[in-house]
Amino acid sequence: MNIAVLFGGISTERNVSIAGGRAVVEALRSKGHNVVPIDPALGSDWKRSEEILQGGEGAVSLEELAKFNSRNIIESINSEAFDNIDIAFIVLHGKWGEDGRVQSLLELRGIPYTGSKVKGSAIAIDKNSSKMIFLAANIPTPAWYLIRKKDYGNYELFEEIRSELGNHLVIKPNDQGSTIGITIIDSGNLDDIHEGVKKAAEYSDLVIVEQFIDGQEITVGVIGEETLPVIEIVPEDGFYDYEHKYMQGKTRYDCPAEISEDIAEFSQSLAHTAYMALGCSGFARADFRLNEDGQPLLLEMNTVPGFTATSLVPMAAKESGVDFPELCERIIEIELENHR
């Protein structure tokens, strides 16, 4: 099978995506497929993608990303690289990759692709829209406020938020992943809230201020419509931020999670409900926190979660007896079945 693996891109998660792309390319080649790696950030110069696969260390800065033009993505999808492709495996994260834009270009080109389609991708990356759907579907989610540009420095609003949500808050961009641009506030200090909003606003025009849930962090992968074993995420110290996600030894992962069977099953049920409510397909990952009563509250649904052999969805799949190359092929099979 001729498979294009899309990785890299021009979001703040570019380097995470490069690592995932490298893993998927190796896995699919090990199964005998003809794999064409494509970094859409390179535009018509996509043939350099094989070279880019060898990089991807550390976080990427906004200054580095500013060097790329979003028109390159159109040029890339419209190039001869896709002339004989049977399916595209998307390992792009964040803006311009996980938000429905690349998905829409592939649909216009008539190329089947893995993961959620245009609408599901666009909704899931929008935290505010997702949380509104969670509530409509009776899925518990932490209370939150949406802050728009006009209210970035509105201390009266910040005071209202503190009064409503308490002193312990999470401030984050509305449409980013990998905890980029996130701030945790435990003092309720209005200046701290203001600084957190400013930081998040560097990455998104809309900012979410959410009640912090001080409990265990768990995650549930979904493949097709099958939920995977629950994983508990235990950072070595502090918060599960970018460093704890991607630096080896900074976080322990318990799979299956050491929680009661009832909580595990309920979390899996909520993950499946959210997957269906948002219109996801292919594969996704639901992130939860447990409150003091053991109630899982859904934070967000990731439609293109981290995807190296040691990432969370592959880790849970392995616990179910599915190795990484087999998982990659299964995700492709799901899409081709749906496409037919």
Q: Is 17 a catalytic residue?
A: no
Angle at 71 between CA 66 and CA 73, to 5 degrees: 95
Task: Determine which one of 246, 275, 281, 311 is catalytic.
Answer: 246
- Say which CATH superfamily domain 125-140+214-339 falls into: ATP-grasp fold, B domain (3.30.470.20)
Task: Determine which one of 15, 116, 178, 281 is catalytic.
Answer: 178
Q: Is 22 a catalytic residue?
A: no
**Per-residue tokens: 20:** 């995932």
46 class by beta-carbon count within 10 Å (0-12 exposed, 13-18 middle, 19+ buried) = buried
pLDDT for the residue numbered 309: 81
pLDDT for the residue numbered 62: 80
User: What kind of fold does domain 144-211 have according to CATH?
Assistant: Dna Ligase; domain 1 (3.30.1490)
pLDDT for the residue numbered 4: 98
**Per-residue tokens: 175:** 């449409």
Q: Is 113 a catalytic residue?
A: no
Which residues does the chain have with pLDDT short of 70? Answer: 177-178, 237-250
Task: Determine which one of 39, 192, 232, 287 is catalytic.
Answer: 287
- Domain map (residue ranges) of the chain: 2-113, 125-140+214-339, 144-211
State the pTM of this model: 0.92
On the question of a common fold for 2-113 and 144-211, the answer reads: no
pLDDT for the residue numbered 242: 46
pLDDT for the residue numbered 86: 97
pLDDT for the residue numbered 120: 97
Task: Determine which one of 8, 13, 22, 311 is catalytic.
Answer: 13
Q: Is 44 a catalytic residue?
A: no
114 Cβ neighbours under 8 A, 6+ residues apart = 87, 88, 89, 90, 282, 283, 331, 332, 334, 335
Question: Which class does domain 2-113 fall in?
Answer: alpha beta
The residue among 298, 294, 319, 316 whose CA lies nearest residue 307 is: 316
Q: Is 300 a catalytic residue?
A: yes
- Residue 223's alpha-carbon distances to 60, 175, 331, 339, in angstroms, are 29, 23, 7, 16
pLDDT for the residue numbered 244: 43
269 Cβ neighbours under 8 A, 6+ residues apart = 227
- First CA to last CA distance, the chain: 16
The residue among 85, 103, 91, 108 whose CA lies nearest residue 33 is: 85
Q: Is 340 a catalytic residue?
A: no
Task: Determine which one of 285, 289, 311, 335 is catalytic.
Answer: 285
